[in-house]
Amino acid sequence: MIDLKLLRQDPDVVRASQVARGDDPGLVDQVLDADARRRAALTDFETLRAEQKSLGKQVASAQGEEKQALLAKAKTLAEQVKALQADADAADALAAELARRIGNVVEDGVPAGGEDDYVVLRHEGTPRDFAAEYGADFAVRDHLELGEGLAAIDTERGAKVSGARFYYLTGIGARLELALLNAAVDRALAAGFTPVITPTLVKPEIMAGTGFLGAHADEIYRLEADDLYLVGTSEVALAGYHSGEILDLSGGPLRYAGWSACYRREAGSYGKDTRGIIRVHQFHKVEAFSYTTVEDAADEHRRILGWEEEMLALAGLPYRVIDTAAGDLGSSAARKFDCEAWLPSQQRYLELTSTSNCTTFQARRLGVRERTADGEVRPVATLNGTLATTRWIVAILENHQQADGSVRVPEGLRPYLGGLEVLEPTTPSGGGSR
């Protein structure tokens, strides 16, 4: 939820943010109107309450007809006080509901526009020239062809058992995912994160508190019988971990690395990335999550981006860093940087990591606060970022493929695969690579 104090003091900033996101700036005025009505009702309420108390003293000392008249007046005042309280409560509820529809105020410098209006900040690494290496006739294999040749990915049986966009990782495929996730945990430990294996089912108030039940609620699986939601990222469970608490941030950020299965309905993605494991309903991920002070949030955001890039370097992937446009941030983020790896089979970049600075937006909804050195209690800032996920297998297989269908293991992952240097093709019944 946005800061209502900011909205009252500088509504133009919030209006500009809404415009940059492509959202309705008129919501700002609707919130301000409801808030003004709430405060006016409360002012009248307090005035009548004071009159009511004064009248009560007069009733106590009055006699006869005077007392009856005062009692009648007291009854009328009581009804008016009750009505004003109801008006204030209704205006407060309306202001809160409208405020929840306003996205976080975007940071200065965030590109305006939608999904295609990002700004490329830099490129790291150089995509391989397969034609130069293997000849002009070399046909780049995509990750599914490579994965099937390695007996690592089985989408046919995944669809048989669970339906479209499900899969099995088998043999070296399973080992490769575990290698990635364990490497991410090691990176997180080195950076001062506490590893956490999180719940993947959460209550509605936690899902709503993180900002995922807005415009993209149709992306989320809901278990109606239990009134629980399946998370699409451990960010949700980690954001709720300290809900309703006052944190001590005097020693620096509180950092958690959540390992979880993730579930996404992929509603609205019909026909997009249907081949292989790029866009699927279930995957695993290690997510970095930080609670920090408002003043430190931008620096922590850059630090998380740096740790993501260390993981990409460990996997030996060429990639670019983009500054995501306001309309593609999601409601809770004030800024988001994505790292996109080069995908040789499609000659395009594929998002592998995303890190968001959510400032105080989630913390206000979830009641996560800190006590400052001077005793003030205020909302904290929350940040998140991907350290590794199943999708990385796509980029690793394609970028490190060799002419015979084998795949070279990036040096950074070899310690997590028992020193294995090359993944060799095998038959589906062959038990994986040597």
For 52, counting Cβ atoms within 10 Å of its Cβ (0-12 exposed, 13-18 middle, 19+ buried), the class is middle
* 107-132 burial: b if 16+ Cβ within 10 Å, else e: beebbebeeebbeeeeeeeebbebee
Report strand pairing: 348-357 vs 381-389.
Answer: antiparallel
Alpha helix (H) ranges present in 62-203? Answer: 64-99, 130-134, 143-149, 155-162, 172-190
Query: Nearest 5 degrees, angle CA 100-CA 198-CA 217?
Result: 30
Give the type of residue at 206: I
How far apart (Å, rounded) are the C-alpha atoms in residues 162 and 366?
35
Annotated binding site for ATP: 264-266, 280-283, 351-354
- Say which DSSP state 401 is in: B
User: In Å, how far are 222, 224, 237, 341 from 264, measured between CA atoms?
Assistant: 11, 16, 15, 21
Annotated binding site: 233-235, 264-266, 280-283, 287, 351-354, 384, 386
CA 154 centroid distance within chain: 29
Q: Which two tokens stand for residue 142?
A: 């995509």
Annotated binding site for L-serine: 233-235, 264, 287, 384, 386
Among residues 265, 262, 259, 276, which one has the least CA distance to residue 167? 276
* 171-208 burial: b if 16+ Cβ within 10 Å, else e: bbbebbbebbbbbbbbbbeebebeebebbbebeeebbb
For 417, counting Cβ atoms within 10 Å of its Cβ (0-12 exposed, 13-18 middle, 19+ buried), the class is middle
CA 340 centroid distance within chain: 17
Q: Which residues pair with 119 in a beta bridge?
A: 323
Report strand pairing: 381-389 vs 282-292.
Answer: antiparallel
Write phi, then psi, for 285 (nearest 5 degrees): -155, 145
Q: Catalytic residue numbers?
A: 264, 279, 351, 354, 391
Query: What SS3 state is found at 142?
Result: coil
